[in-house]
Structure 1
Amino acid sequence: MRLLALSALLLTSGATHAGEVPLRFSIADAWAMPLVRIDDHQPSGGIIFDIMQSMAAQANMTAEYRVVPVQRVERVLNSGRVDVRCYTTQSWMPSLSGDYTWSLPLLIQRDLLISTPDNPAPRSPETLSGETIGTVLGYVYPTLQADFDSKVLHRDDARSEVQVLEKLQVHRYRYAVGSQWSLDWFNHNLPDDQKLRSVAVIDEQSVGCLVRNDPGIPAQRLMRILLRMRMSGEIDRILERYKTVSGLPADQPAAAR
């Protein structure tokens, strides 16, 4: 009960002045570095946190954060309890209703099939019939969903990508799905002979932010801020702090879908 209460806690990056309208962001409790660092149930660093902090500051608004389970993100958005969701794409939110503005793509999310150092041979997902795959509870994997639905592949859910990779590391299963960023972060302090291995790229998705269309929220101004952050190289500089890259062309942002 305590964890459920804390996961829904409204987290504020600073005191909201009387009369000031905050900009309310959602954060999935499954996220971990390099996306977000959460200390004492409050985000304190990471790629997406830095993007959201800068976005709010440039809009002269105070950022507030609501940490919620992945399965509840759409419900929280649909209820109007948050205004902005970053690190998302439309295929991950098939049940989203309401009126939203989607930003241009800001990053490329690359999902990998990952295995252990003693099983590094490249594998195609089509050759994994009957395997149990490490996955994150509530995450959508479009390219694997048909195989999960038909029981050709079996999910073994954990609460975060870190936990998924930790279970893979101790051989709870032979394969897991994780992002390139999570894999690199997990491996960066491990000796070479202990690093987990990417054996296939299973999906690439352009991800950005969505903003709820509401008279009290400057949606178009926020879209312009994100465009400026991308075109000016600010997002690339944020990524450099975490020793990673966006995956988008360096000279210009990808076209909005």
Structure 2
Amino acid sequence: MDRQAYTDWARRAGHALIALAVMLAPAAVAAPLLTVAVDTGTEMPMAGFKDGQLVAGFHKDLGEALAGKMGRVVNFLPLPRKRIAMALEDGQADMVCLYLPPWLPGKFQWTRGFFPVAEVVVSSTAVPRPKTLRDLSGQPIATVLGYYYPELEAALGKQFVRDDGYSSSGNLRKIAAGRLHHAITQQNTLDYYLKVGEKLSIHPPLVIKRYQARCALSPKGRVRVPEIGKAIDQIVKDGSVNKIISNYQSHLR
């Protein structure tokens, strides 16, 4: 084969290889998708939204961490709370996290609990520190509209005096302003409130309960419990869960 013939052959072979690489590249690099539903009614540190898109918070960090361990690309689907169950049932979303089964009735598969949450009563230093839930009997307590507090109902009965607001952060601002002396919130929410520089003069919080939040999986979704369970084990073991939580805590805690 003379030099010109060889050159022509090499050029054609090179073009063929490039064309083959272009055809195969999408298949080689495209990772499977993981669609995670997120309640648009939540606030930081659970979720932060901008222009309708999830941009920060536990849901974002956790979804990205789990997808990374599974070799998947995460897609967040912001939805009103009442539409999340339907989205899971229809397979529009693969999963939703930071829930418990009583909060989301339906035929869903559930992971093990792995994300630590503490529900607490925050009390102003303007009143005596409550040592038990019964110490709150008859006193107005800032609560979130539409949320149920079984421990308070059981401990106080008719003496559980709710003062409903639209958000936990709004309720904490009521305490800061002296409008109320007690509020129910999550420790994580309180930590974030203090991290962003809000001022509160409060007693050490009274813990109502502790639990491990879980993820619910769609029966029509792309992931199953063994796959997500393995990813959960990995992010717990390597410290990712603790790091996600600490990112939203005040260093003064």
Aligned match for 1:127, one of 135, 150, 154: 135
> Counterpart of 2:167 in structure 1: which amino acid?
S
- Counterpart CA distance in 1 for 2:134 and 2:78 is 36
Residue 136 of structure 1: aligned partner? 144
Task: Indicate the SS of the match to 1:144.
Answer: helix
Structure with greater helix percent = 2
Residue 125 of structure 2: aligned partner? 117
> Counterpart of 1:99 in structure 2: which amino acid?
F
Count of matched residue pairs: 222
Q: Does 1:223 align with 2:229?
A: yes
Q: Does 1:40 align with 2:51?
A: yes
- Counterpart CA distance in 2 for 1:70 and 1:99 is 16
- Counterpart CA distance in 2 for 1:136 and 1:31 is 11
Q: Cα–Cα, structure 1 residues 239 and 89, in superposed 2: closer, same or farther, change >3 Å?
A: same
- Counterpart CA distance in 2 for 1:82 and 1:147 is 38
Aligned match for 1:103, one of 107, 111, 115: 111
- Counterpart CA distance in 2 for 1:103 and 1:32 is 24
Q: Does 1:200 align with 2:206?
A: yes
Q: CA-to-partner distance for each residue in 1:15-42, whole Å, 9 max, x for gaps?
A: xx9x986422222234222222222222
- Counterpart CA distance in 2 for 1:230 and 1:184 is 21
Task: Indicate the SS of the match to 2:209.
Answer: strand
Deviation of the 1:133 alpha carbon: 1.8
Deviation of the 1:91 alpha carbon: 3.7
Q: Cα–Cα, structure 1 residues 77 and 216, in superposed 2: closer, same or farther, change >3 Å?
A: closer
> Counterpart of 2:95 in structure 1: which amino acid?
V
| Residue pair 1:143, 1:202 contacting (<8 A) in 2 also | yes
Task: Extract unaligned runs of 5+ from structure 1.
Answer: 1-16, 245-257
Task: Extract unaligned runs of 5+ from structure 2.
Answer: 1-26
| Residue pair 1:183, 1:196 contacting (<8 A) in 2 also | no
5 Å-filtered alignment, 1:77-92, equals 77-92=88-103
Deviation of the 1:79 alpha carbon: 4.8
- Counterpart CA distance in 1 for 2:46 and 2:54 is 10
Residue 3 of structure 2: aligned partner? none
- Counterpart CA distance in 2 for 1:158 and 1:215 is 35
Residue 239 of structure 2: aligned partner? 233
Task: Indicate the SS of the match to 1:197.
Answer: coil
> Counterpart of 2:172 in structure 1: which amino acid?
L
Q: What is the TM-score with the length of structure 1 in the denominator?
A: 0.73
Aligned-residue Cα RMSD (Å) equals 3.0
> Counterpart of 1:232 in structure 2: which amino acid?
D
Deviation of the 1:57 alpha carbon: 3.1
Q: Does 1:171 align with 2:190?
A: no
Q: CA-to-partner distance for each residue in 1:225-246, whole Å, 9 max, x for gaps?
A: 11111122222233333347xx
| Residue pair 1:104, 1:227 contacting (<8 A) in 2 also | no
- Counterpart CA distance in 1 for 2:33 and 2:161 is 42
Q: Cα–Cα, structure 1 residues 236 and 21, in superposed 2: closer, same or farther, change >3 Å?
A: same
Task: Indicate the SS of the match to 2:158.
Answer: coil
Deviation of the 1:187 alpha carbon: 2.1
Q: What is the TM-score with the length of structure 2 in the denominator?
A: 0.74
- Counterpart CA distance in 1 for 2:85 and 2:132 is 32
